[in-house]
Amino acid sequence: MICQNWTLHLLGIASLASVALAQPSQRPTISVGTTRSSQYHWCGTDEGNDHLGGEDDLVALEALSKRSLDTENPIGRKNPIKIPVNIFLVGTEEQRGELKENSALLQIEDALAEGYSQHGIFFGPIETYQVAGDEYVNVNHSERKFRQTLDMKEGLRIGGAETLNVYVVPKLDRGTLGYAVFPWILSTYTDERALAMDGVVLGYWGLKHFLSRKAIVHEVGHFLGLLHPFQGGCKSLDGDSIPDTPQATYVSQHCEPKDTCPQLPGHDLIKNYMMYSACSEDLSFTPGQVSRMREAWYKWRDPQTRKLTYLTSEPIRTTPNSTMIVTKFC
């Protein structure tokens, strides 16, 4: 339940500052306004950075896809997937109170149910925590390599690779509604930094934006292994490695039919959750995307089927950090 809240105060959290992380690749300029006529490059997920070492993993996913009709395979059986969720609110008391008054947090629960439940993917229990203090309030959390963001995520994270940790922060780059980390980071990095980096970051502004529900489902799609359908642009024949998502470019913005790669089959899926567009209603995933998410779940996140190292398979913690002052709040 969203109303279950705790107040956490960070004390003496260990630092990941000594970890040398790969530099992110170039990504589209972010420019999002609050009107529906604005440019939409609102997802800060860096496919270049998180995809390091991931090519072999995508090949493995393709192999999984070929076996997905096997009734002995958990992917083929379409078993329900249940994902526990922890939401951490970073901000001043006034900022956190505003989100609560506007019922913005309820959008996370509602959006996840709307986007995923019909595909047998369910989220819960959902626990919400308030992070007291202002240590991370003025930090721009747009870059996962930033020392303070890694410190924050390592100090707050609860649960293993199967758990969705969502960090709601006051500051991201202008125009960014949120970003996520792909699941193959759990096999790319073989120590605690993978779990510390894992999860979804959402901006306060993003939860009040008219695309907020789409942004939430979109970022969790990355958490479950989906790339943007426009990955690679028109130079790529199948940038996201999913056959039923026609190739497009990221300039697919307004909610109107278009074909940004006319030399390639298909038209832009403007009402797809993983596309950049102003469409906010009647959104969907393709069957191929649903299969890919289930494949990624069983390969990297399901405790029964994943094959990760001990340091990425075991949770950093299973309860709120004992070095924090915890006060129940509702």
Q: How far apart are CA 60 and CA 296, in angstroms?
A: 10
Active site residue 219: yes
| Beta pairing, strands 5-9 & 178-180 | unpaired
Q: Which position among 47, 143, 219, 295 bears the catalytic label?
A: 219
Q: Which residues are catalytic?
A: 219
